[in-house]
Structure formats: structure tokens, C-alpha cells
């Protein structure tokens, strides 16, 4: 993505990986939110097969794996994230049942009806919520669960600045009610939802990221791409602080309906 037309919104992908590799998580969330979502999942059995799609370096995967028996496969497009994921699993002694695999969420390496639980935090937007939940359903056993977090509007209307910001970044953002309806249409039932609390964005995401910015800029002294990346992260955080009453992330937990 590095080219002459590079803008502040399109930093070099390698720089993005380098920056986020040092972070515990690559999107908003928290261990408490992961466990709250897990509390809506019942009857997993003794050896469930779980997939965490768009797992990043596995912050939430390790929380999940400590509370779920069986095997957990993390899938992410970025090999550096998967290397770190597998290192984290080894350090926690989870390597026998927690594995990271490089792969894409639009071409998952699972057998049909093989998964008891699909997990995905802050990642489905990469192919779009509706497409993701629709295409992933066939990998679930009948009655299997999906737990996915996704950005949502929190109010019916909003200032033009934040509306336009999301329309240019992710126009699929919508209300919890509309996304719940999409889940029903895609063949899921028993849909439970909750909004991630503010600390999932601040204490667990933007604050740790801003602490990483100094060492990142030191590592890439004089690199305009690195400066642009940090600037765009700061802008994103400013936007959140200014407009957080209007948007957030919601968790959706549901069951394959047949």
C-alpha cells in the first residue's frame, strides 16, 4: 500500500503490523467483555472446537481458552501476529490446545459443521458483518454458537461529522436492532447483545496504544509514514472522545438456528 498517493488514511501495512504487534489487543475490548460474552454460551461440552477469527496476537483468545476446554484455533491474515499469538500460547502453557494459523476470514480452513463456537472480536468489519455471519454459519455445528463484536450506532441520529467519518470508513455500521435482525435473517436464533463499556476503548485500547507511540516513532525516526500512522491513530482517538455517545462496539452472541 506504500505508493506516491499515500495519504494520512493509508499508512504502509508493514508499519501498521509493526505498531500493533507490540499491543496486547488490536481492537477495543477487554477480558471482562470477553467473559461476559462467553456467559451467554451454554452447553459447550467437554471438548469443543472453537475458532477465533481475526484473532490478532490473541489477547482475547487466551482469555477465552482459559475458560473453555477443548481446542481453539486462531486465524489471522498477518503472519507476524500469528507468530506472536503462538509465542503467547506457549508462554501460557496453552500450546497443546491453542494454535494460531495464518489464513483469511473469507476462506476459512474448517470442515462444514465442525465448530462448536465461532469467536471474533473487532475483526468481521474486514469483510463486512452481514457477509461474515452469513458465510461463517456453515462451519458451525447445528446449535453451535457465534460471538462477534461489531461497531454500532448508539443513537438514532448524530452530528454530520461523525456520520460522514463512518460512512467513509465503514458504511455498514448500523443500530444493534438492525444487526440483530441481520443475524436472524442469516439463520441464527437466541441473539443476546450488549454494548462494550467505555473502558474497552480507553483503558484497554487507546491508552495502551498511546504509550506505544513514542517507542514506535523512535524506531522509525524521520519516517513520514510512521508519523502519519501515529497522527491517524490520534485523530481516531479524538473522534472517539468527542463522539462516544453516538457510536460504540456491541457484542452479538447467537446460536445457529437448526
Nearer to ligand SAH, 161 or 202 (CB): 202
Choose between 11 and 59: whose C-beta lies nearer to ligand SAH: 59
User: Cβ 49 to ligand SAH, closest distance in Å?
Assistant: 18
Pick 158 or 172: Cβ nearer ligand SAH: 172
SS3 state at 176: helix
Cα–Cα dist 121/245, whole Å: 21
Closer CB to ligand SAH, 124 or 183, in the complex: 124
Q: What's the min distance (Å) between Cβ of 247 and ligand SAH?
A: 17
| Binding residues for ligand SAH (CB under 6 A) | 25-27, 29, 54-56, 59-60, 75-78, 81, 104-106, 121-123, 126
* Run of H or E including 249: strand 247-256
Concatenating the DSSP letter of every residue in 99-161 gives EEEE--TTS----TT-EEEEEESS-GGGT-HHHHHHHHGGGEEEEEEEEEEEEEESSS---HH
CB of 35 to ligand SAH, least distance (A): 14
Residue 254 C-alpha cell reads as 447467537
82: part of which helix (H) or strand (E)?
A: helix 79-91
Q: Do residues 149 and 249 lie in contact, with contact meaning Cβ atoms separated by under 8 Å?
A: yes
Q: Which three cell numbers stand for residue 30?
A: 477487554
Nearer to ligand SAH, 126 or 175 (CB): 126
Could you give the CA distance from residue 153 to residue 151 in angstroms, rounded to a whole number?
7
As a whole number of angstroms, the distance between CA 103 and CA 123 comes to: 13
Q: In the complex, what is the shortest distance from the CB of residue 148 to ligand SAH, in angstroms, rounded to a whole number?
A: 10
* Min separation Cβ 53 and ligand SAH, Å: 6
Q: Which is nearer to ligand SAH, 77 or 239 (CB)?
A: 77
Q: Nearest approach, Cβ of 120 to ligand SAH (angstroms)? A: 7
Amino acid at each position: 500500500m506504500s505508493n506516491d498517493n499515500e495519504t494520512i488514511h493509508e499508512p504502509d501495512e508493514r508499519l501498521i503490523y509493526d505498531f500493533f504487534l507490540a499491543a496486547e489487543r488490536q481492537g477495543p475490548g477487554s477480558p471482562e467483555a470477553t467473559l461476559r460474552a462467553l456467559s451467554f454460551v451454554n452447553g459447550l461440552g467437554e471438548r469443543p472446537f472453537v475458532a477465533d477469527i481475526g484473532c490478532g496476537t490473541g489477547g482475547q483468545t487466551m482469555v477465552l481458552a482459559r475458560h473453555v476446554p477443548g481446542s481453539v484455533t486462531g486465524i489471522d491474515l498477518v503472519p507476524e501476529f500469528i507468530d506472536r499469538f503462538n509465542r503467547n500460547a506457549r508462554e501460557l502453557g496453552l500450546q497443546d490446545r491453542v494454535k494460531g494459523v495464518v489464513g483469511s476470514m473469507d476462506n476459512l480452513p474448517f470442515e462444514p459443521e465442525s465448530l462448536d463456537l465461532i469467536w471474533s472480536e473487532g475483526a468481521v468489519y474486514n469483510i463486512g458483518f452481514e457477509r461474515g455471519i452469513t458465510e461463517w454459519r456453515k462451519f458451525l455445528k447445528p446449535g453451535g454458537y457465534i460471538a462477534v463484536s461489531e461497531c454500532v450506532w448508539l443513537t438514532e441520529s448524530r452530528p454530520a461529522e461523525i456520520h460522514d467519518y463512518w460512512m467513509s470508513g465503514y458504511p455498514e455500521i448500523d443500530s444493534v436492532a438492525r444487526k440483530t435482525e441481520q443475524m436472524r435473517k442469516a439463520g441464527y436464533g437466541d441473539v443476546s447483545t450488549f454494548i462494550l463499556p467505555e473502558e474497552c476503548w480507553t483503558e484497554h485500547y487507546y491508552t495502551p496504544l498511546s504509550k506505544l507511540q513514542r517507542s514506535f516513532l523512535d524506531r522509525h525516526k524521520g519516517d513520514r509514514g510512521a508519523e502519519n500512522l501515529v497522527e491517524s491513530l490520534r485523530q481516531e482517538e479524538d473522534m472517539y472522545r468527542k463522539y462516544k455517545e453516538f457510536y460504540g462496539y456491541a457484542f452479538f452472541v447467537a446460536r445457529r438456528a437448526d
